Amino acid sequence: MEDTHTTSMIFHTRRYPSPDTASSNQLHHEMHQMIRWADSKLNFCAFSEHHISNDGFMSSPMLASALAVGCTNKLRIRNAAVLAPLHDPLEIAEQITMLDLLSSGRVKTILALGYRECEYQLFDVDWEHRGQVFNEKLEIILQLLRGETVSYRGLEIKLEHLPVSPINEIVGIGGNSRPAAKRAARAGLDYHPAFHCADTEAEYHALCNKQDVDGRYYAPADNLSFLLIHEDPDKVWHEHGKFMLFDAMSYQNISHTSRVSCRECDAETVQGLRESGAYSVLTPDEAIEHFNTDSSMVINPLVGGMHPDIGWNTLELYHSKVYPVIVNQLDRDGLDAVIH
């Protein structure tokens, strides 16, 4: 099952090392303004988590989500994903609860294992037994969200405030593996893999059926592309393609042998990246055709620290020329997710 009829925005906060790159202050300020703008125009926005990646990748998706909650009323928000083994499970449960209460159920947090040993070292978490660590912390998180009392570090703890939304609506499981699918089914949670795999999907549904769990499987489209919209795509690629290439190559630089993604791209040149289709700059008419074909659109308006004017141009063209055409196909009440 793939996400359909969705338009979304993602933010990584990577910054290409160049004099014409947006400053950190500018990047985050414009992200705030773009999220505010998107409230009545897009389905959702998404944030992710990495640490010490040397490219400016976002490290605090929960804080970014709180910002998004505070400046919107309709926009759905995705933490996709939060690296659960790196964090205290009580803190995660508290933050999920707070976001749910503040947003009236608009935030969903996808919990994932991660794939970078250095991050485990940074947070002093056992890399070799990371799956077990995840399972143990996940159980504590879910117990707390259900209102149960948990024995934790010699204390009996419970949450005094609980989410108003069903847990399955605000927590999901990410990952690309059979253990991830099993983890999701065992916990009775939706599974949000980073790419579609028919065998894993079948195994997930079989496990859900066995446990009488109504689990849902959400995977990105096989041809997912990060989009910009412009009347002159050639000009954007010529003048700003280096930012998209930096984003793609940075993603490769934090790769791991166990990680596979729908956005894998080994391009080393701007032209190679353009030909790969992993990043696209489309005219408004092409964007409409893309949506009609794929029923989804993922806008990356500040990709690689690109000057915000390009991102704003994308959003303005989307709103003035694309949205009026596709609005009848948008499903604003559906459960949407994007993994990155």
pLDDT of residue 108: 99
Lookup result for tokens 């978490």 = 125
pLDDT of residue 14: 96
Whether pTM > 0.85 for this model: the answer is yes
Mind listing the domains of the chain with CATH numbers?
Answer: 6-329 (3.20.20.30)
Nearest to 224 by CA among 254, 253, 251: 251
Cβ proximity of 58 and 24 under 8 Å:
no
Tell me the C-alpha distance between 15 and 8, whole Å: 21
pLDDT of residue 49: 97
Cβ proximity of 338 and 3 under 8 Å:
yes
pLDDT in tens, the chain (340 residues): 445 578 999 999 999 999 999 999 999 999 999 999 999 899 999 999 999 999 999 999 999 999 999 999 999 999 999 999 999 999 999 999 999 999 999 999 999 999 999 999 999 999 999 999 999 999 999 999 999 999 999 999 999 999 999 999 999 999 999 999 999 999 999 999 988 999 999 999 999 999 999 999 999 887 788 999 999 999 999 999 999 999 999 988 776 655 555 556 789 999 999 999 999 999 999 999 999 888 789 999 999 999 999 999 999 999 999 999 998 766 543 333 332 2
The count of residues in the chain is: 340
Task: Provide the phi-psi class of 175: left if phi over 0, else alpha when psi is between -120 and 50, else beta.
Answer: left
pLDDT of residue 208: 97
As given in the structure block, the two tokens for residue 293 are: 């074909």
Cβ proximity of 120 and 126 under 8 Å:
yes
DSSP string, 234-263: HHHHHHHHHHHHHHHHHHHHT--TT---TT
Q: Collapsing DSSP states into helix, strand and coil, what is residue 124?
A: coil
pLDDT of residue 329: 66
